[in-house]
Structure 1
Amino acid sequence: MMSSEVEWIRLTQFSDFLNPSADFRGCSALHYAVLINDSKLVRLLLEFGADPTIVNERGHRPVMYAKDSSIRDLLAEAESKKAEEVAAKEREERRLQPLENRLRKVIVGQEAAIRTVSAAIRRKENGWYDEDHPLVFLFLGSSGIGKTELAKQVAAYLHKDIKKGFIRIDMSEYQEKHEVSKFIGSPPGYVGHEEGGQLTRALAACPNAVVLFDETEKAHPDVLTALLQLFDEGRLTDGRGTTINCKDAIFIMTSNVGSQVIAEHAQQLRYVSGNDEADIEISRDFKEKVMRPILRRHFLRDEFLGRINEMVYFLPFSTSELTELVNRSLKSWSEKALKRHSLTVTWNREVVDLIVDGYDVYYGARSINYEIERRIISLLALADEQGHLNPGSHVNISVSHKSVKDEAWSSKKSNENLDPTISSPPRIVLNVTDAKGKMNKVLDLTQTTISWA
């Protein structure tokens, strides 16, 4: 066969994408059927359930390799049908498992916040929203009470690829006027012009992402001006003049502004109700007369606050919620102990109550985590270092209320300087039983290790 005939066959029967230097990693059978321009094979694969929306490692769907218009039409029809099937499946999943239920599995407490966010997302998902503007939230409240976690869970719910679908920007990095360029990109002639900005690059990759602006009150006013354009128009122009349309994105700002006022008001509401477990909500009167003036002083512009769809208030935890937080954290640590050290760890209610007493309303769940690490995990690490924790051991965590005199007696150690009238505060105790049934008792870090067979 003449070389000209080979060239003619190659041009007429094979896709231009077929060349030795092309990257075909992640291609499906449908990709290859399109590449060899075989419409019968494409139709057959689609009839037997091939997914026309699958992308290869370059992010290309089969239709992007189609040379023949009939194959393109076939794939376009299949993609449309697939999209309808996926939408119907997602609607059914939302009906059977509402977003509220999914969030409650991860978020402790914050019922009002969960209901508010879920209702707004539901409106958007089902087409009952203003398509000319993105959805904008402002999460208000103390540190460590679930603001960031709720944003992450919304992103995980809406996007399969959480790395692209969740954009987190620390606004404390944008406190100076010149840092606006880092946000949206440098103008022509300046260093970094071709790179774009942190926000614009991320939104270009995923225009419908969930974007978290953490600690928004720390940003420079010029950065807030850029955000106002973003919230108002649903688009952002970067330093290169490229406009990114992101009306389908969801923007969540967090702020600690007024957090102390919110916490004290919530505690007062619980006190007035006479029930620490009462399901309280922030009143409209408090929002308008107390919080709005505070927010105006920090964000300066009424039009900025006016573009926020929902201001969501996160409240301090109740006693039962704190108990749940402690148990969740201890369960997580026990799973790590079993996986990393082959140790079984258990605890009783007294331990939980002791940790709950260390709760700081202004630091939220973080204060609980710090208390667990300080009172329990440090003791486990010390016991491990001293050779008391061997693989297969069972560690029961409990609380000791014994006085100093009692502890000295039980350890069979004499100390002439002990004052029998002085009682120690409650202390964490590790009761360790090894695989052979031998028991060791390890007191907290301020005490000598006590062991017996």
Structure 2
Amino acid sequence: MLWDKLTKPFIRIISLQNNTIERLINFSKPKIIAEGYSGVCGAGSSGHRWMVTSTAINEYLLRSSYMGCRHHYLHFLKTLGDKDWRKSKWKERGPPMSVAVVTAFCWELNREQKINEREFLLAAMEFLKKGVDVNCCHPYGWTALHAAAINARSKAVKFLLDNGADPNLPDNFSSIFQVARENRTSPISVEVIREGEFSTRLNHNQMFRGCTALHYAVLADDQESVQSLLDAGANPMVVNEYRFKPEDYSRDIGMRTMMQKHSEKYLAKEKRKEMEERRKFPLEQRIKQRIIGQEGAITTVCGAIRRKENGWYDEEHPLVFLFLGSSGIGKTELAKQIAEYLHKGKKSSFIRIDMSEYQQKHEVAKFIGSPPGYVGHEDGGQLTKRLKAYPNAVVLFDEVEKAHPDVLTILLQLFDEGRLTDGKGKTIECKDAIFIMTSNLASDEIAEYGMQLRAEADKITQQRYEGEPQDLEITETITISRRFKEHIIRPILKNHFQRDEFLGRINEIVYFVPFSRLELLKLVRIELDKWSKQAREKHSIELKWDPMVLDVLADGYNVYYGARSIKHEVERRLVNQLAMAYESGLITPGCTVFVYTDVPTSEADKAKLQDSPSPIKIRVKTEGTDSFTDVDPSEHLKQSAGK
């Protein structure tokens, strides 16, 4: 299509002359005699602007000048449009010709060039037998499958797919300028390599990152390659950097119809596959692998997501959640896991906005974009710009209680109608998005109420837990009473937000309660496992511990700071000792460190430790020995300072 648009005017002009374009482009010799102006092509001239009696252009120069010819189409067409050649003083010389002639010759030479595919396939087979990865990328980002697809080599496409080529692997080539910067070379050299080793059909100044072999096969109008790719599992719904699907590049009606049918089949297949996966591995189980505790919160959120996935929800309004609870208790992590599950780990599918940045009235412009005439109008808003790119994203409004009331007015429209108008006046539809607000409102009340629930849970725990963490998988389901929600939490929310219509548009208010005893023990174990891994990988030190250490460290839990208090407790009481011992040379690479605690047995010892936690101690077994030795890094440091 591009070729037709740009060369038809030249072909019409050339047809007026004695020599036709067919005669000029079908020379079998490596030289061509072109009448007319050839300076535009860089092929040489006799000094006259319009007329050259004859110009010898060898085949090599034609090949290397092809890109230049192609770039000069638009410039030359513009010249003809601005100033007709018939009005020039050189009109008696006739129309300029060689731009079209040379370009046509280059195009025909490129198109007619034959490649012995049998020899190529045999050579490729030899490389694959030697262990060459069929999916290996060119230094500039593309694979052999991409090159075969864009050049319409259907046999090569089929061969590569049969030998394990990934049909959904994206091209990492961005643009010649960006690739040149990344590889510290010149754009011209990148362009030459892209032309010579990939294809001459594309405008290499454009972005191609994210294009798959299916994008290129559709662009080349090669139905045989497209069919092979689809049969091999190519995703017809995948989008590139510009969010274009392969179907968007189809120019032929037959190709477009073919892609639409396969897209429908692919979506139906993926929907059945996802439904089967949800039956075998429910969402609750997936999230519990990443989040400790919060049974009630996970159940509430997963129930709403399940309604949405199976079509049992109001399609005219987005899902809206409000997560309440103290800091460090899993609110943000649950939002991340929802985005991870729904969008298969795509980073752009999770939008996090810190509402503490929107405390002033004028900062509403950052949210939706500045109005016309103001600085930043062309940049767009932080929310609208990202929602436009991903309208079904999971959006997290962190610490929503800190935002200015005018921002809440915008959220009111967003939650009610599922759409938002940016500073440019464009409406963004996002009814399929999921909006999650987190807040520390009523966190003290929830924490105090949670302590009561925790005490009740501990009574249940004591019936099956007798001092040793034998089963850390047992958790107690804590239920927030309706009375607590209606008489304590809701008045606090209403007093802050000052509007019932805002609270009325929230589908679910989710409560995050303090951790139970068994959940705290599990948090401590996860933290110790993390430090054990770091000691092994960075210092070649094995770190082990007594089970009673878990109990002692779990006592450092602060209900107002959540899991962060456990993290800080482990760092203060254990990691500080390890760092001090390492610096003093008490522990060295190759040794084993055993962490333990002295549990008081007598009443006198218990009375001494009543107001202070049990001490955490370490023993060291050096490489080549069989026994552990007690070490005290603090005492060793004092002795060293005394000397």
TM-score range, shorter chain: 0.7 to 0.9
Higher-RCO chain (CA-CA 8 Å, sequence separation at least 6): 1
Q: Is the aligned partner of 1:435 residue 2:623?
A: yes
Contact kept? 1:443, 1:449, Cα under 8 Å: no
The equivalent residue for 2:373 is 189
The equivalent residue for 1:364 is 562
Q: Distance in 1 between matches of 2:548 and 2:480?
A: 33
Q: Is the aligned partner of 1:237 residue 2:435?
A: no
The equivalent residue for 2:467 is none
The superposition leaves residues 177-220 of structure 1 with CA deviations (integer Å, 9 ceiling, x where unpaired) of 11111122111111111111111122122111111111111111
Gaps of 5+ in 2: 1-23, 26-100, 113-149, 152-199, 462-475, 602-606
Contact kept? 1:375, 1:428, Cα under 8 Å: yes
Which of 550, 560, 581 is residue 383 of structure 1 equivalent to?
581
Q: Give the 3-state SS of the residue equivalent to 1:194 in structure 2.
A: coil
Contact kept? 2:223, 2:255, Cα under 8 Å: yes
The equivalent residue for 2:529 is 331
The equivalent residue for 2:249 is 65
Task: Give the AA of the match of 2:541.
Answer: L
Q: Distance in 2 between matches of 1:398 and 1:436?
A: 22
Q: Distance in 1 between matches of 2:212 and 2:239?
A: 8
Contact kept? 2:355, 2:397, Cα under 8 Å: yes
Q: How many residues align?
A: 434
Which of 426, 433, 436 is residue 614 of structure 2 equivalent to?
426
Task: Give the AA of the match of 2:334.
Answer: L
Contact kept? 1:151, 1:252, Cα under 8 Å: yes
Which of 15, 31, 49 is residue 215 of structure 2 equivalent to?
31
Gaps of 5+ in 1: 404-420
The 1:75–1:11 alpha-carbon spacing in structure 2 relative to 1, beyond 3 Å, is farther
The equivalent residue for 2:397 is 213
The superposition leaves residues 253-285 of structure 1 with CA deviations (integer Å, 9 ceiling, x where unpaired) of 111111111121232245467726453211112
RMSD of aligned residue pairs (Cα, Å): 2.9
Q: Distance in 2 between matches of 1:216 and 1:324?
A: 30
Contact kept? 1:427, 1:443, Cα under 8 Å: no
Q: Distance in 1 between matches of 2:608 and 2:478?
A: 42
The equivalent residue for 1:127 is 311
The 1:449–1:351 alpha-carbon spacing in structure 2 relative to 1, beyond 3 Å, is farther
Q: Distance in 1 between matches of 2:458 and 2:525?
A: 25
The 1:233–1:36 alpha-carbon spacing in structure 2 relative to 1, beyond 3 Å, is same
Q: Distance in 2 between matches of 1:402 and 1:448?
A: 26
Q: Distance in 2 between matches of 1:333 and 1:248?
A: 41
Q: Is the aligned partner of 1:118 residue 2:302?
A: yes
Task: Give the AA of the match of 1:302.
Answer: D
Task: Give the AA of the match of 1:430.
Answer: I
The superposition leaves residues 283-318 of structure 1 with CA deviations (integer Å, 9 ceiling, x where unpaired) of 112111111111101111100000000001111111
Q: Is the aligned partner of 1:374 residue 2:562?
A: no
Q: Distance in 1 between matches of 2:584 and 2:454?
A: 46
Q: Is the aligned partner of 1:106 residue 2:290?
A: yes
Distance apart, 1:55 and its partner CA: 3.9
Spell out the pairing of 1:18-417 with structure 2 (5 A cutoff): 18-271=202-455, 275=459, 277=461, 278-400=476-598
Distance apart, 1:5 and its partner CA: 5.1
Task: Give the AA of the match of 1:428.
Answer: I
Contact kept? 2:580, 2:633, Cα under 8 Å: no
Q: Distance in 2 between matches of 1:331 and 1:256?
A: 30
Q: Distance in 2 between matches of 1:348 and 1:158?
A: 40
Contact kept? 1:174, 1:223, Cα under 8 Å: yes
Q: Give the 3-state SS of the residue equivalent to 1:150 in structure 2.
A: helix
Q: Give the 3-state SS of the residue equivalent to 2:378 in structure 1.
A: helix
The equivalent residue for 1:413 is none
Q: Give the 3-state SS of the residue equivalent to 1:308 in structure 2.
A: coil
Contact kept? 1:270, 1:276, Cα under 8 Å: no
The superposition leaves residues 40-67 of structure 1 with CA deviations (integer Å, 9 ceiling, x where unpaired) of 3323433344332344455443222222
The 1:433–1:90 alpha-carbon spacing in structure 2 relative to 1, beyond 3 Å, is same
Q: Distance in 2 between matches of 1:392 and 1:192?
A: 58
Q: What's the TM-score, normalizing by structure 1?
A: 0.88
Q: Give the 3-state SS of the residue equivalent to 2:589 in structure 1.
A: coil
Contact kept? 1:171, 1:216, Cα under 8 Å: yes
Q: Give the 3-state SS of the residue equivalent to 2:293 in structure 1.
A: coil
After alignment, is 318-327 or 22-31 more displaced? 22-31
Q: Distance in 1 between matches of 2:533 and 2:639?
A: 26
Contact kept? 1:442, 1:450, Cα under 8 Å: no
Q: What's the TM-score, normalizing by structure 2?
A: 0.63
Q: Determine what percentage of the aligned residue pairs are the same residue.
A: 56
Distance apart, 1:446 and its partner CA: 7.1
Larger radius of gyration: 2
Distance apart, 1:24 and its partner CA: 4.4
